[in-house]
Structure formats: structure tokens, C-alpha cells
Structure 1
Amino acid sequence: MAISTSPEVEQQAPVADSQETQPGRLARCRQQLVQALLYPTDIAMLVYFRVIFGAIMAWEAWRYVVPRGPEGVSWVQTQYIFPTFHFTYYGFSWVKPWAGQGMYWHMYALGALAACITVGFCYRAATTLFFLGFTYFFLLDQVNYLNHFYMICLVSFLLIFLPANRAYSVDAWWKQSLRSQVAPAWTLWLLRFQIGIVYFYGGIAKLNADWFAGEPMRTFLYTRPADWTLVQWFGNEWGVQFFSWGGLLLDLLIVPALMWKRTRVLAFIAAVSFHCLNNIMFQIGIFPWFMMAASLLFFPTEWLREKKPQELVDAENAGPLPLTGRRKLTLSLLGVYVAFQLLVPLRHFLYPGNVSWTEEGHRFAWHMKLRVKETSVVFYAFDENQQAIPLGDNPQQFLRRHLNDRQIRAMASKPDLTLQFAHYLMDDLAKNGYPNATVRAEINASLNGRPYQPLIKPEVDLGRQKRNLWHASWITPLTTPMPPPSQRRRPPTAAGSGMPTEDDLPRAPLPAPGNGTGGGVPAGGALSAPAADEPPGE
């Protein structure tokens, strides 16, 4: 008997074959990626990065201990020794500054470790201790958060595992068996990835309505002093559009432009120009210099030396390194780290509202120079009998008894820090005979030139709000629309003179607990711009 073949069956066969080959394609792609990551590359670029990283970190340590200003005080003193209260990161409240002159010795140690990294002396121990020491320094106070400090923590962590001391180092000079002119390609690509993340997510963060409206760049440029070096070229609307669109496009396109041979030189010139202008405009410390130096990582390794060492030639002829169990583990951990870096900057999308207003998810997301906030803050305290607790005879000096000006500005503009200070104030009141005190705050803020509106709900007892990583319901949603450029607020150019007038501020009723009509004592206000002798700000 003849058996006919169904046309439907014949048509399904190619689909089945395609489905069967799909895993094979994925396996081949995975194998090609593994081979590319394990392919030998010149170690010279790793050595270059080790040297410039160590040198810049030694310079940064010195910047924090050198005396400044007419009073001759250092940043270590003003930011870590003088303040009686520090704003900690969630889960790290146990991290405290060293007592006495300990912070000076800590910075001296970081400088010495950075010097060891530069010359490749006891490299593994030096990078490990530097990572731990700098991360401790980073965690001391949220007020001093800087994106490039976070980047330094990450890069110093990566350097622990990179063989950057196998050539041109004291370690290699002492120990001949350590010497090598070759490193697996993943070591260089990991550094490129980390630097690329800073650029790319910095560009993604600029894709918002305020940035396209020219803010806060317009505020930055229009409030510069008349004698500013570049005011005649950029202190106008043309400069606003140039910096807004130029910064956005550079962040998004600089990495592929540096990778492509035809655009590499022009891209590097653009990056250097961009960072030099940033240094002049914002005085953001080591960040521009570090990023200029790190941009060279995207150049081919032949840029550092034309003739390949024979060891590298032999290694290239031998092909990729064999995939041992240890290398499988290394590449797996590498994948976890890459996924972490890709996902963490996006977490602010899990929170409702404008991240520049609520500050929830702002940190660790490479949001740089995206907002200008002017704020006014008043704290109120009530005892268990609904009576107002006086917070001092001189309202303007109340906050300065506990915080420095930099901390005041940050606390008044970042709700999480406001909550921390309210907890600190409640504990302080308990020690002074008010164990059941109620602490509230009235904060009005202007974001990127908008009119003032309440930042937090003034009726909420902040002292009893728990600190966590979830959205804070006591933050007032941003409802004030962006006005036309001519109607936007402009902070003053001088630090310390940015207090709004009473007519600027929407006054919300602030009832005392129960049925009373309480009040409090004004606690001062957040200044609008950092002082010239302060460390770099966000």
C-alpha cells in the first residue's frame, strides 16, 4: 500500500530544523565571545591605566589634606572632623570617621597606597587596601557623594583582579616568574566597559524634559560672575544649546566614536575639550582629568608601542587561552558584574515621580549636573503635651550648631537626608528631656527654575518615619510646571545669599499634634551654591 505524505508535514520540517539549530547558533555565539575574551592582548594598556590611576588617586588624597583658604583648614577638617553629625548610607550607619587626627592618617595611607599602585609595588595588597580604604571614605557621609567617587570605588575593586603589575612594575622586577607582556582581552574590555557605562548612562539620564528645555545648563551659565573666563562666549542662549546638546550627544556617542578608527582622533579631541570646559565651569575635581586619561583605553594597544614584544606574537599565534574551570568561573563572575552595572542605574524607574525632585534612585545612576534646587527649610518640634519645643534663641544658627553649610544644602534638598536629620534631632531631644517629641519640617523647593512648592508633607512626623529603600509617601509630588525661560528663577551667583523671600514660598498650615495650633523655630535654610573652598559637589 502506498502511503502519501501530507503537505502540512513537509512544510513543518524546515521549521523544526530551524528550531533545532537555534541552540546551536547561541552556543557558537557564546563560544566566539569566550574565545574573544580569552584572546591574548598587549598588557601595555593595563600598565598605562595602573600608572595614571595611581597618580591621580595620590593627587586626590593630597587635595584633601592640604590647607585652604585664609583660615588654613583642609577638606578633611571641614567635611569629616568638624561636623558632629554625618549622613550615612542605608545599612552603613556603623561607618564613622576616625577620631582625632585619624582621618588625616587615613588620607595619608590612601596616598601611599596610590603611590604603590603607580609603581606596581605589592600591587595586589595595595589595590585591595586602597579599595577598602576609599570605599570607607566614600561611605562616611552621603553629603559628599560624587559620581566619580563611586566610579573610583568600582575601578579600584576591578584592579584587584587585573594583572596590571606583570610588566613595568616593582613586583615584576623583583619576581621574574610574574613577568608577562600578555593579558587576556577581558581585562582590557572590562575597564572599557566601566568607563563606557559612565558616559552612556550619563547620556541616558539627560533624556528628560528639563534638559531639552535647557535646564539646568541655562542656570549654570546665566548665573556665572561677570568676570568668568568664558562668559563672553557661552554666557548666552547659544552657549546653553551648545552645552545641552553637545553634552548629550558626546555622552551617548563618545564610546563608539573612540572605538571606530575613522573618528577616533576627532572623538578624543572632543572628549578632551568637553572635559576641559567642564573643569572650568564646574570645578569638579579630578573627574575631568581622570576621564580624559581613561578615554585612551579605547585606543588600540599598538598606540603605546609600535613593535609587539615576541611573547605577544607567540601568544597571538597560539590563539585563545584554554577554557579551564577557573576561567569559566572568572567569566561567569564577569557576567554578573556586567549585569549589575547595567541594571542598577535603571532602578530609579521603579520609583514614582521625578527622580531629580524625589532623589529616589538618583545615586549610583550616573546622573550628573541634572538639577539645581533652591530650598528653604524650617524644623518644628513638639512635646507630648502638644507644646512647641524651642530649638534655639537664634533661628539662623540652629542648623549650623549641628551641620556645616554643605550639609545644610544637601539635607534641605534630599528627603532621605531630611529624614536622617529628623531622627538625629528626635534623639537629641530625647536626651534633653523630651522622650516623646514630634519632629516636623517645612521645606519649600524650586527645581531647575520652577516656582517654589513644598518638597515634603509638613504635617508628617518625620521622627517616626522608618528609613528604608522603598518610596517615601511623605514626599510631595512635583506638580509645578516648567515656566518659560524668562520666568524661571535664577539662584544668586554668590554662595550663602540664596535664601528666598517670604513671598516666594507657599505657606502650608502646620498643625501641632492633636487639636492644637503649634509652631516652631525657623531653622535656617539651604544655600544655593557651594563655597569656593569646598570639595567638588554633585
Structure 2
Amino acid sequence: MNSGQSPAPADDQRQHQTSSALSASGRLRGAFNTLVARLFAPVDISSVVMFRVAFGLVMVWEVYRYFNYGWVASKYIQPNFHFSYLGFEWVKPWPGNWMYVHFYALALLALFIAVGFFYRISAALFSLLFVILFLMEKGVYLNHLYLVALVSFIMIFVPANRAYSMDSLRRPAMRSDTIPAWSLYLLASQFAIVYVYGGFAKLNPDWLRGEPMRTWMSRQPDFPIIGRWFTDEWMVYAMSYGGLLLDLLIVPLILWYRTRWFAVIAAVLFHRFNAEMFSIGIFPTFATAAIILFLPPDLPRRVATFVRSLVMPEKHASPSQTLKPGTTADHALPFTQRPLVQRLTVVFVVAYLGIQLLAPLRHHLYPGDPTWNEQGDRFSWRMMLNTKSGDIAFYVTHPASGETWTVSPYDYLTSQQAGDVEVQPDMAVEFSHYLSDLWQRSGYDDVEVRARAFVSLNSRAPQMLIDPTDDLASVKLSVMPHDWVTSFDEEQRLAESFDLDELLNELGEPQE
């Protein structure tokens, strides 16, 4: 072949493939670099500072509540048995009064976070201690405690101490009026995920027919101002669909400037209503504080400047302007100039949000209703979807002797733990293992443990939760489907023969 000949078709194809691959690689690299630039664009730090202060103070208040209500002892010291998360069975409460030390440390670290004192170390230690506390007892799981664990982890990386902090007073060189945009976006995204997934979870037949809202409202006819209408069907549906729409729409409505302040007022009233209606601890206050993350980031600074202009007009300085992406601040953030750190940070942010977007969907991998079998229900923002009441009895059998003992969980557990065992299948299995160990220590080897469990879900007639023929002592908990849990009959309707007053007395508090 001489030099004047055209390339062979195979060579043309290889060149085209190489060119296409290089072009695709270039586009991906360009898109990634654009993402890096946007996530590291400077934004005003003041809203994140406000959230830092609120987060720290709310956590101090939460620790105070544990001391005030005696929960440190009742939840962590007094129980003879503690329920564990899968894979974290080794995490147990500290012995004796060391649990009080744990809570005192949490309060001190939360206060340090609020004032920005050795912020990075304080945030890291608080996150570690809170996650350990969270893992100590599965029976106290609440969605907002899981949210605190996630937010405390994020706060380790967010440079929220660069202004209005003890650290910035000690080290003036670190002061900055701005932070990289990813810091604000990551915190806001975490709360947005909670709202949106909470809204989608409400798109289920029970919620759309007014349950469990109907049950909860019928128990509070003395609720201030509007309680007189709580038994009216129009109010039941207004509250059910209002909560659904707020969860789904509140974030975009706050972000859009035309509806922003209407949405803020609606969100504040919504969380205030929840605080009065339900016993859900710090969540309404925590969620209200997080609204600042969805507002213009320089809003707190502009408000503070306006207030100063009223109090001290002669010293009034012109308000700071919202920084546009791509502008620079007087105090540049040192690490933003390091390309490797920028890229690793973006990878971390994308990976974290990817996990948070996928984890709540895992219940679709399991057959049945997660509200019934509880698989995939935790860590999924399936909040306030049900009220359950149950009755369970365990039967411990020693095949060698033929002896059988009937056991009530209330004889071995706290009332809260026993109530959870009645309605949560995985906790019933854990308790069965505990009973098996107790009997074995008493000289009865190879006992079998079965359960007769009936549960009422959202005011339905009770139905069997656990297969009574399965030996729960031999069941090994795993991420696989729980075939020892019965299937839930979706067609079962409210039992008209139920006495409502009797039912309401049996129903527990709404499960978050």
C-alpha cells in the first residue's frame, strides 16, 4: 500500500471510536469542572452560621429533656436487655452512671458548636458520641434522631465557624463572610430529602382515606381553637391532604421568591401544629430552624444590618450584597484554591446525596407493606404513617421435657420496649433470642420460642403478625425478606363491630 491510498474501513472505524470516546470524556470532564465551580462558588455564610447556632442550642435542649424526664436511666440504664441494629450488636450502653457522662459530654459539645469553639473537633466528637448513642438502643429509634445523626456528620465538614464564632475571634485570619456553596446546598438538600420522601410516603391508600389522621384527631377534641372540628370528615381530609401537599411542595415554594414568605409561614404553622398535636420531641423546632437554609443566604446579614441602622443610624454601614457565583470574597477560603481538595469534596457530596436518595427506596426490594412488616421502614423518612396496637404472647418450649412456658414481654422489658415488641417483628425475634439465652442459662438447652401476635394497623381489626409455627429462636435476622412475618391483607377494612372508645384506649402514640 502506498502513501496515497485511503485508510482501510477498519482504521476509519477505530479512529471514529477513539474520537467519540475522547469527545465523551471531554464532555464529562467539562461537566464535572462546571459542577466543581458551582459548588465552590462563594455564598454568604450568615444563614449557615444561624443554623449552626440553632443546631447547637437545640441539641443542648434535647440533652436537657433526657435529664428532665429521666430518660437517661429509663432508656439506657434500667433495661435488662437492649435491642440492637443489624451489624451493630456490639454497641451497648455504658455501665452504671457512665451514661450520664455521655450525655453531659454531648451537651458541652453542642454548646461548643453553637458558639463555634474548637468547632471542627467539637462537631466531630459530637457526631461520634451521638451516633454511638443512636446505636445503643433500637427501641428508641425516631426519624428525627436519625436526622440529627446525619446533620451532625455533615456539620463536621461545613466551615460554619468562619464568622460569628469563638474560633474566628481566636484566629482572625480564618474569618470569612462567605463559604463554598456546597456547604449550604448539602445541608439544605438533606432537609429537602426528608420533606420530599415524607410526602411520597403519604401517597398510600390509608393516608388518602384519612388514616391514621382520623384516629389521632378523634383523641384530641380539646385541641386549641380547631379541636371542635376534629371529628368532622372535612377536617380529617383537610389535615391529611394538607400535610401531604406541604411535604411535597414546601421546598420549591420556599425557593421560589413569589411564594417564599407564604410558604415560610405555612411551614412554621405546620411544625407548630405538629408540636402541639403529637409527642415528637425536638423535630418541629429543629425543622423550623432549618427553614433558614432555603432562604437567601445573606438574609440574616441584611436583617442584622437593618436592625443596626434603626438602633445606631450614625454607625450604619451599607448592607452586604448577595454574592454572585464566581465572585471573590475579601477573605478567600484557603482550601478552595486546591483543585484536588475541590474534586474530592465534590465526589463526597455527590456520593453522600446518592446514598441518601437511594436508601429510602430499599423497601421496594421487599415483598409486602413496609408499614406492616417494618422491612425498609426505618431510615426511609416514612414518618407518621401509622398507629399500631398489638397483643403478643411468647411460648417457650423445651422439646426434651415437653414443658412449655407462656411469657409476656412486660415481665422482662420496660413498657416502651414491650410495646415495640408487640408491633415490630424484628424486635420480637430479638426478644425471642433473649428468652432462649435465659432458658439456656437455667439449664434448658435447645428451647424453641414461638409467638402469638395480633396487631391492629390504622384502626383495622387485629390480624396475625407472625407465623405462630415458626421457631423464632432459630430465626437469624438479616437483610433478606422476613418470611416468618405474615402478609398484610390490604382489602381488610375497618371493623364496624369495633368499639371506637375501646380501640382508642388500646392504640399507642403515633409512630414517627
Instruction: Give the shorter-chain TM-score range.
Output: 0.7 to 0.9
The residue aligned with 1:419 is 429
> Is 1:371 the equivalent of 2:350?
no
The residue aligned with 2:62 is 60
Unaligned runs of 5+ in 1: 1-16, 69-73, 499-527, 531-535
Distance 1:489 1:281 in 2: 24
Aligned 8 A contact 2:106 2:129 in 1: yes
Q: Matches of residues 121-520 of structure 1 in structure 2 within 5 Å?
A: 121-224=117-220, 226-229=221-224, 230-306=226-302, 316-317=327-328, 322=337, 324-385=339-400, 387-391=402-406, 398-479=408-489, 481-483=491-493, 490=500, 492=502, 497-498=505-506
Residues 38 and 136 (structure 1 numbering): CA distance in 2 closer, same or farther, change over 3 Å? Answer: same
> Is 1:108 the equivalent of 2:121?
no
Match of 1:529 among 489, 508, 512: 508
Kindly provide the CA deviation profile for residues 137-193 of structure 1, in whole angstroms up to 9, marking residues without a partner as x: 111111100101000000000000010011111111011222111111111001110
Tell me the CA shift for residue 208 of structure 1: 0.9
Q: Matches of residues 9-20 of structure 1 in structure 2 within 5 Å?
A: none
Tell me the CA shift for residue 102 of structure 1: 1.5
The residue aligned with 2:39 is 37
Aligned 8 A contact 1:276 1:288 in 2: yes
Distance 1:150 1:277 in 2: 22
Q: Report the secondary structure of 1:376's partner residue.
A: strand
Q: Report the secondary structure of 1:115's partner residue.
A: helix
Tell me the CA shift for residue 218 of structure 1: 1.0
Distance 2:76 2:501 in 1: 28
Aligned 8 A contact 1:378 1:442 in 2: yes
Residues 487 and 426 (structure 1 numbering): CA distance in 2 closer, same or farther, change over 3 Å? Answer: same
Judging by fraction of residues, say which structure has more helix: 2
Q: Report the secondary structure of 1:428's partner residue.
A: helix
Residues 351 and 310 (structure 1 numbering): CA distance in 2 closer, same or farther, change over 3 Å? Answer: closer
Aligned 8 A contact 2:455 2:462 in 1: yes
Tell me the CA shift for residue 18 of structure 1: 11
Q: Report the secondary structure of 1:113's partner residue.
A: helix
Distance 1:19 1:90 in 2: 44
The residue aligned with 1:13 is none
Residue identity opposite 1:233 in structure 2: W
Residue identity opposite 2:432 in structure 1: A
Residue identity opposite 1:372 in structure 2: T
Aligned 8 A contact 1:359 1:414 in 2: yes
Aligned 8 A contact 1:202 1:368 in 2: yes
Question: Which stretch of structure 1 is more off in the superposition, 96-105 or 152-161?
Answer: 96-105
Residues 481 and 490 (structure 1 numbering): CA distance in 2 closer, same or farther, change over 3 Å? Answer: farther
Distance 1:429 1:305 in 2: 64
Tell me the CA shift for residue 231 of structure 1: 2.1
Aligned 8 A contact 1:97 1:103 in 2: yes
Tell me the TM-score normalised to structure 2 length: 0.87
Distance 1:315 1:473 in 2: 56
Tell me the CA shift for residue 467 of structure 1: 1.2
Tell me the TM-score normalised to structure 1 length: 0.83
Unaligned runs of 5+ in 2: 1-18, 303-317
Aligned 8 A contact 1:144 1:537 in 2: no
Match of 1:47 among 46, 49, 63: 49
Question: Which stretch of structure 1 is more off in the superposition, 194-203 or 399-408?
Answer: 399-408
Residues 426 and 143 (structure 1 numbering): CA distance in 2 closer, same or farther, change over 3 Å? Answer: same
Aligned 8 A contact 1:411 1:421 in 2: yes
Kindly provide the CA deviation profile for residues 190-214 of structure 1, in whole angstroms up to 9, marking residues without a partner as x: 1110010110110011111111111
After superposition, the CA RMSD in angstroms is: 2.6
Distance 2:409 2:337 in 1: 62
Distance 2:324 2:373 in 1: 55
Aligned 8 A contact 1:219 1:490 in 2: no
